[in-house]
Amino acid sequence: MSEEKKTIYSGMQATGNLTLGNYLGALKNWVNLHQDYNCLFGIMDLHSLTVRQDPAAFKKHARSLYALYVAAGLSPEENIIYYQSHVPAHAELGWILDCFTYMGELNRMTQFKDKSAKHADNINAGLYTYPALMAADILLYQADLVPVGADQKQHLELCRDVAQRFNSIYGDVFTIPDGYFGKTSAKVMSLQEPEKKMSKSDENLNATILLTDDKDTVIRKFKRAVTDSEANIAYRDEQPGIKNLINIYSAVTEKTPEEVVKEFEGKGYGDFKMAVGEAVASELAPLQERYNDILKNKDYLDQMIRTNDEKAAILANKTLRKVHKKVGLTDRVYYPFPPKKEEPKEEVPAADDGAYVQMSLTATKIKDKDTITVKENKKRK
Ligand code: AQP
């Protein structure tokens, strides 16, 4: 990470297959950020658990998300792309920040209210404290900037408040992050209910274009997109279905909505839907090719995941260690990353027999797939 560059933190949940909304609204815009910023992109799998996940599908979505990040152009060499759950510091700082977040603040979160209404049978504590975990995600990496859509502004505000509260008690521990407002990105709406945003967890398959949909599927879904009976391609709120298609076409072709309206003047909805489908399918084709190559190359993907998890953990643990110290938690003998250097070994008294166990847990070494091996020397007196 370059010291001259600011740090940007962002991520997505592994709650389903990525949609065109996730791509045009976020992923596509992240690609060139690394030229100007140190970037961390998380697979926010702990957040995803706030909604019940099918374990097998969840695992698949998380891996697919990683491959899609890379296929879309995020570089695991230039950026840090990692799994949130592989860096335990997230959950740990999340808990500590829970203790610095007031219920009154959490009660105000509109996302909690929306998600509670949507998942009335599973209004869990994780859903409620989601913003504290999100604050931990950002603060662990001392992020300066966080790309946020309108729906996340409230969470970022809360993150700033909690960080300021913590800093006011313990000194400058956390960087206070600002929102990053880059190029305005498209908000993609559902193809079946254009008043609602396109979401990866939507159960209506015709409502979403998945990044992995083949050309025929993409075109079929656009043909079925809900429009209106005006038979007029105009960019206005009264025609939300057509407005959404114009926005999508405009984002993919980089034309303005006015240029799109002009291009299709006098044409029928059928022709327009076909053109949108063709344009989106062409945009997705190279990404899909890369995605399939990455998934096939299992060793390469595993290696990238390991290296990036480790890079993230080193940064996260640096902050976590500082936080532990500030709040007065007892020193640890072991932080997996970064390897401990010169700190003296600690003697841990054992039970009544007067014996003690001296633990010297030294640097971690990654051995195989998901295994982190720790060298542990136990001496008994
Ligand atoms: N329809 C959308 N249009 C534009 N941007 C979108 N994003 C999501 N949907 C659209 C952006 O994609 C990123 C994904 O964030 P997330 O996975 O953390 O959660 P989300 O916003 O809740 O995304 P989904 O797809 O709607 O997931 P579910 O169905 O699980 O709720 C964010 O940057 C978001 O702005």
pLDDT in tens, 136-194: 999 999 999 999 877 788 999 999 999 999 999 999 999 999 999 877 677 899 999 99
Ligand 1 neighbours by CB, cut-off 6 Å: 12-13, 15-16, 19, 21-22, 25-26, 44, 149, 187-188, 197-201
**72 within a domain of the structure (yes/no):** yes
pLDDT at 307 over 60: yes
Residue 1 within a domain: no
* Span 125-131, average pLDDT: 96
Residue 380 reports pLDDT greater than 80: no
Look at residues 102, 69, 133, 141 and name the one whose alpha carbon lies nearest to residue 304. Answer: 69
pLDDT score recorded for residue 337: 62
Q: Residues 71, 217: one domain?
A: no
Phi then psi for 176, rounded to 5 degrees? -85, 115
Angle between helices 298-327 and 269-296 (to 10 degrees): 80
Annotate 103-168 with DSSP letters as a single string. HHHHHT-HHHHHHHHHTTT---HHHHHHHHHHHHHHHHTT-SEEE--GGGHHHHHHHHHHHHHHHH
Is residue 357 scored above 80 in pLDDT?
Answer: no
Is position 320 within any domain? Answer: no
Contacts of 198 (CB under 8 A, 6+ apart): 19, 20, 21, 188, 189, 190, 191, 207, 208, 209
189 alpha carbon, distance to own chain's centre = 20
Q: How far is the CA of 13 from the centre of ligand 1 (A)?
A: 8
Instruction: Compute, in angstroms, the gap from residue 339 CA to the centroid of ligand 1.
Output: 36
If asked whether residues 359 and 276 sit together in one domain, one would say no
36 three-class SS: coil
Is 70 exceeded by the pLDDT of residue 362?
no
Take atom 33 of ligand 1 and give the residue whose Cα is closest. 26
155 and 243 fall within a common domain: no
Nearest residue (CA) to ligand 1, atom 22: 199
Cβ pair 259, 35 in contact under 8 A? no
**Tell me, what's the pLDDT at 367?**
37
> What integer pLDDT is reported at residue 360 of this predicted model?
32
Which ligand 1 atom is nearest residue 185's CA?
A: 4
Reply yes or no on whether the pLDDT at 330 is more than 80. yes
CA 63 / ligand 1 centre spacing (Å): 17
Res 12: pLDDT: 95
How far apart are the CA of 151 and the centre of ligand 1, in A? 9
Please tell me whether residues 281 and 302 are part of one structural domain: no
- Residue 280 maps to a domain: yes
* CATH number for the domain harbouring residue 169: 3.40.50.620
CA dist., res. 91 & res. 236, Å (int): 44
Task: Write the CATH number for 233.
Answer: 1.10.240.10
What's the number of domains the chain is made of? 3
Measure the CA–CA gap between 193 and 116, rounded to whole angstroms. 20
pLDDT digit string, tens, across residues 110-120: 999 988 998 89
Q: Which of 8, 12, 20, 122 should be mutated for ligand 1, with most atoms under 8 A from CB? A: 12
The pTM score is 0.84
Q: Which ligand 1 atom sits nearest the alpha carbon of residue 48? A: 30
By the 8 A CB rule, do 360 and 353 touch? no
- Please choose, from the candidates 225, 100, 229, 77, the residue with its C-alpha nearest in 3D space to the C-alpha of residue 163: 100
Q: What is the pLDDT of residue 349?
A: 46
Question: Cα separation of 147 and 125, whole Å?
Answer: 26
Atom of ligand 1 nearest to the CA of 147: 33
Please indicate, yes or no, whether residues 37 and 57 belong to a single structural domain of this protein.
Answer: yes
Q: For 335-351, write each residue's pLDDT tens digit.
A: 666 655 665 555 544 43
CB 173 within 8 A of CB 166: yes
Q: Are residues 64 and 90 in the same domain?
A: yes
Higher local confidence (pLDDT), 372 or 27:
27
pLDDT of residue 75 exceeding 70, the answer is yes
- Residue 51 confidence (pLDDT): 93
Shared domain for 98 and 41, answered yes or no, is yes
pLDDT band at 108 (very low <50, low <70, confident <90, very high): very high
- Answer yes or no: do 302 and 281 share one domain: no
CA distance 71 to 375: 36
pLDDT at 359: 31
Three-state DSSP at 14 gives: coil
**Residues 236-284: tens digit of each pLDDT:** 999 999 999 999 999 999 999 999 999 999 999 999 999 999 999 999 9
**Mean pLDDT, the chain, as a whole number?**
88
Average pLDDT rounded to a whole number, residues 196-207: 92
28 falls within a domain: yes
Specify whether the CB–CB gap between 212 and 17 falls below 8 A: yes
When mean pLDDT is compared across 154-163, 183-192, 308-317, 355-364, the lowest value belongs to 355-364
Pair (212, 174) in one structural domain: no
Confidence grade of residue 32 (pLDDT, cut at 50, 70, 90): confident
Residues known to be catalytic: 115, 197, 200
- CA of 47, closest atom in ligand 1: 18
For the beta carbon of residue 231, count every other beta carbon within 10 angstroms: 9
pLDDT of the residue at 344? 58
Q: How far is the CA of 29 from the centre of ligand 1 (A)?
A: 13
Protein residue with least CA distance to atom 2, ligand 1: 21
Q: Which domain holds residue 346?
A: 340-381
Selection from 81, 67, 69, 82 nearest residue 294 by Cα: 67
In-domain check, residue 144? yes
DSSP letters of 322-350?
HHHHHHTPPPPS--SSSPP-SPPPEEEE-
Per-residue pLDDT band for 69 (boundaries 50, 70, 90) equals very high
124/263 same-domain check: no
Are residue 150 and residue 210 in the same domain, yes or no?
no
